């Protein structure tokens, strides 16, 4: 296999073929001739020493090596496009912002393993930019961005605010968190239903918590029974759970990050799956934010389903 750098033009043609499932449609998408796209894919296969697409299928499908390369291609092309945007910003008259850190807000565990993957990818791509990590509580679902405390935010669910735009990163099954001694804990990984959790004493959140977040916490039923305990962080939720004073809800990956002794994590089999998002300001003009967003979205396309455990049929 060649050790020369990968040609982004070849990667672009290859990825278009994979996504379109057809050499002709890929050529039309790229404004190239079909022979040119075919040549690009063949050159890439020669350089890598392996077949990347199975031409016998209809539509054309990637080989196992092609599937693996497609994920890398998305990340590399996203980074390339973001770099071009950054340079366009750099040469714009009056452009500034040198030395400004990128402030990354994370609510709870963010988008599970995708959160550190995106941050590390950005740090590798932009080692000269300082990254500041800021932990967000439940009430900062939107305000951390709109009040300019962070530049990007890993949140859930998607904000309902015209000042903010958000990209879906992961989509996961919902869970409830209860004490191990709770009768509901016996459901284990078999799961429970929304009816089973109707009487749980869910923790309270402050009145200024955004409505989309409270809808998420209480499975869309604002009138659910409430504990007397308030919580604005996962740690406060878990403290209430293991002391038997409250119950919590979250995404399935919550159990991987907060496996506290005394807490049980029970899937809710009939609750709609919920997504984590990367949110930014709608009028954001900081090129570093666009670079981070492009990398996170590209990684989500490559890793998101695996992290989510989403095996539902399309």
Q: What percent of the chain has pLDDT over 90?
A: 59
Domain 8-90 -> CATH class = mainly alpha
pLDDT tens, 281-293?
999 989 999 999 9
Contact 21, 60 (CB under 8 A): yes
Contact 108, 254 (CB under 8 A): yes
Phi-psi region of 199 (alpha: psi -120 to 50; beta: other; left: phi over 0): alpha
Distance CA 216, CA 158 (A): 10
User: Which tokens hold the place of 19?
Assistant: 């996504």
Q: What percent of the chain has pLDDT over 70?
A: 89
pLDDT tens, 74-132?
878 877 776 666 666 555 544 444 578 999 999 999 999 999 999 998 998 888 999 99
Instruction: State whether CATH 3.40.190.10 applies to domain 102-169+274-308.
Output: yes
Please report the pLDDT score of residue 95 as a whole number: 47
Q: Is 93 helix (H, G, I), strand (E, B) or coil?
A: coil
Q: Which residue has the higher pLDDT, 290 or 307?
A: 290
Domain with CATH 3.40.190.10 in the chain: 102-169+274-308, 174-267
Angle at CA of residue 166, ends 72 and 274, nearest 5°: 90
Q: Flag whether pLDDT at 314 surpasses 70.
A: no
pLDDT tens, 151-205?
999 999 999 999 999 999 999 999 999 999 999 998 888 899 999 998 899 999 9
Phi and psi (nearest 5°) for 224? -60, 150
Please report the pLDDT score of residue 96 as a whole number: 47
Instruction: Write the CATH number of the domain with boundaries 174-267.
Output: 3.40.190.10
Please report the pLDDT score of residue 313 as a whole number: 40
**Cis check: omega of the bond before 157, within 30 degrees of 0:** yes
């Amino acid at each position: 296999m060649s050790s020369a750098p990968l040609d982004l033009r070849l990667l672009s043609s290859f990825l278009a073929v994979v996504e379109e499932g057809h050499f002709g449609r890929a050529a039309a998408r790229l404004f190239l001739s079909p022979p040119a796209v075919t040549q690009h894919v063949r050159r890439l296969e020669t350089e890598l020493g392996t077949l990347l697409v199975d031409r016998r299928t209809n539509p054309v499908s990637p080989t196992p090596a092609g599937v693996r390369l497609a994920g890398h291609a998305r990340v590399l092309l996203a980074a390339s496009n973001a770099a071009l945007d950054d340079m366009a910003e750099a040469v714009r008259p009056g452009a500034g912002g040198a030395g400004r850190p990128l402030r990354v807000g994370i609510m709870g565990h963010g988008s599970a393993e995708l959160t550190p993957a995106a941050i590390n990818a950005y740090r590798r791509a932009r080692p000269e930019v300082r990254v500041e990590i800021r932990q967000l509580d439940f009430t900062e679902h939107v305000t951390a961005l709109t009040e300019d405390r962070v530049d990007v935010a890993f949140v859930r669910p998607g904000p309902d605010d015209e000042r903010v735009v958000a990209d879906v990163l992961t989509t996961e099954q919902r869970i409830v968190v209860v004490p191990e001694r709770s009768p509901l804990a016996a459901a284990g990984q078999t799961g429970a239903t929304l009816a089973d959790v109707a009487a749980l004493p869910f923790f309270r959140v402050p009145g200024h918590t955004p409505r989309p977040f409270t809808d998420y916490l209480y499975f869309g039923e604002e009138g659910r029974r409430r504990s007397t305990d308030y919580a604005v962080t996962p740690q406060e939720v878990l403290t209430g759970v293991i002391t038997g004073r409250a119950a919590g809800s979250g995404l399935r990956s919550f159990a991987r990050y907060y496996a506290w002794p005394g807490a049980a994590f029970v899937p809710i089999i009939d609750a709609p799956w919920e997504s984590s998002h990367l949110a930014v300001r709608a009028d954001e003009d900081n090129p570093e934010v666009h670079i981070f967003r492009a990398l996170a979205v590209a990684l989500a396309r490559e890793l998101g389903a695996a992290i989510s455990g989403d095996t539902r049929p399309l």
